[in-house]
Amino acid sequence: MSDDAPVQLWLCRNEDLPEVHAVDLARCWLDPAEQERARRFVFPADRRQYLVAHALVRRVLAGHTGVPESRLRFWRSRRGRPFLSPPPEGWPRGDTGLDFNLSHARGVNVVGTAVNRRIGVDVERLDRDDAESWMRVAESFTAEERRWIDGLVPSERARGVLRLWTLKEAYAKARGLGLSLPFDSFAFVLDGGRRVRRFRPSRDDAVGRWQFLQLEPMASTIVAVAVEAAAGDAVTAHLRYGFPWMSQPPVVLDLPPTPGPPDTTPADREGVIVR
Ligand X SMILES: CC(C)(COP(=O)(O)OP(=O)(O)OC[C@H]1O[C@@H](n2cnc3c(N)ncnc32)[C@H](O)[C@@H]1OP(=O)(O)O)[C@@H](O)C(=O)NCCC(=O)NCCS
Residues that bind ligand X (CB under 6 A): 53, 79-82, 101-104, 122, 169, 173, 176, 178-180
The residue (of 177 and 196) whose beta carbon lies closer to ligand X is 177
The residue (of 145 and 169) whose beta carbon lies closer to ligand X is 169
| Least gap, CB of 268 to ligand X (angstroms) | 26
The residue (of 73 and 197) whose beta carbon lies closer to ligand X is 73
Give the residue at shortest CB distance from ligand X.
178
Q: Coil, helix or strand for 9?
A: strand
| Least gap, CB of 190 to ligand X (angstroms) | 20
Q: Which of 86, 72, 93, 61 is nearest to 28 (CA)?
A: 72
Name the H helices within the chain.
19-29, 32-40, 44-65, 131-137, 143-150, 154-174
| Least gap, CB of 153 to ligand X (angstroms) | 27
The residue (of 5 and 174) whose beta carbon lies closer to ligand X is 174
Contact 60, 245 (CB under 8 A): no
| Least gap, CB of 262 to ligand X (angstroms) | 29
Q: Which residues contact 132 (CB under 8 A, 6 or more apart)?
A: none
The residue (of 81 and 163) whose beta carbon lies closer to ligand X is 81
Contact 102, 121 (CB under 8 A): yes
The residue (of 47 and 104) whose beta carbon lies closer to ligand X is 104
| Least gap, CB of 105 to ligand X (angstroms) | 6
Distance, CA of 102 to CA of 9 (rounded, Å): 10
Distance, CA of 63 to CA of 229 (rounded, Å): 24
CA distances from residue 240 to 32, 122, 245 in whole angstroms, order as listed: 29, 16, 11
| Least gap, CB of 249 to ligand X (angstroms) | 27
Distance, CA of 29 to CA of 40 (rounded, Å): 18
Identity at 270, one-letter amino acid code: E
The residue (of 73 and 147) whose beta carbon lies closer to ligand X is 73
The residue (of 79 and 194) whose beta carbon lies closer to ligand X is 79
Q: Which of 216, 220, 217 is nearest to 127 (CA)?
A: 220
The 8-class DSSP code of residue 103 comes to E
| Least gap, CB of 232 to ligand X (angstroms) | 26
| Least gap, CB of 22 to ligand X (angstroms) | 14
Q: Which of 176, 210, 180, 178 is nearest to 82 (CA)?
A: 176
